[in-house]
Structure 1
Amino acid sequence: MRQLSAQRIIEPRAAYIMNTILRDVVQRGTARRAKALGRSDLAGKTGTTNDQKDAWFSGFQRHVVATAWVGFDQPRTMGRREVGGFAAMPIWIDFMRDALKGIPESPLEQPPGLVTVRIDPATGLRAGPGSSDAIFEIFRTENTPKEAVNHNNLPPVFGESEETLPEQLF
């Protein structure tokens, strides 16, 4: 396989954050089927056009990039379940299984200037002690949320008001 190189134009922290977002597509999103390859260094994005006329998956590992596309030469609907994660994913997996033979896993190194912060998903603020459903997100050091969520001051959830909230029993 011939190796190509090009000038880096994306700031390393931005590239790392984008890479983690696209890895999440494989780890927890619409491309979970790629986990069948048993690698932690895969990332990508599924795609489907309106009316399921085209389906694709563009995915990568540090050294190999590939896109699988499924559709007709003359666009027409392929069917209800013919989306990127179902129609194109198996093709990509079969290709990458062979393409990655002998290539060791090579996770991207986190560059300096990034931090992982526990975030409240409902507000985007730093998670407080009462944030049981908090998630971890990566931020540039200078963009880290400073304010922590205060669950006592949150507005009511849609459909709830003080009149409809149950009485506290204990």
Structure 2
Amino acid sequence: MIVLPFPAPPLAVLAALDLLRSVHGREGGQAFPASAVAELERPWEPASCTAELAESIWSWCDDVVLWLNHEFAWRPAQLIPACWREHPHIARELPVLAVLRWEAEASAAPGQIEDWNRYALPTFCDRMTDRLGESTCRTGRHQAWPAQGRYAHSASQQRMAGRGPVP
């Protein structure tokens, strides 16, 4: 096979996307209260989801990473590292990229796929490469967060100064 099909989302992810689509396309164009939408699980934002749905999203993202690495990464430095789950900057963006691709695949015209190829994927790859820098993750050996010490120091200073909690 010349190209592989994009991995389908798990049923739980599809159900959440269908619910959101139905809210978005309500009859009569009546706005759905923003507070109600904020309470819905949004698969592109796993922090808004139950643990069960989030695990389905992460599993789907594993499949999407394999697909992306096969279909779009020619050089080793372009690969999404196997340790992507240990990189919040990658893990936060992958579900968005996956949902955008899934929606583009369902489109009746090629415009959304072209936009995904032209904008979503390249900007994701550029940000990932920039944020990983020269880390060994790109060569298959995970490197712990280099800024962790400074972050921990800053967070403890904020707490000591009474500036509020740090997540």
TM over 0.5: no
Q: Which has the higher contact order (CA 8 A, sep 6+)?
A: 2
Question: What's the TM-score, normalizing by structure 2?
Answer: 0.31
Question: What's the TM-score, normalizing by structure 1?
Answer: 0.31
More helix by share: 2
Q: Which has the larger radius of gyration?
A: 1
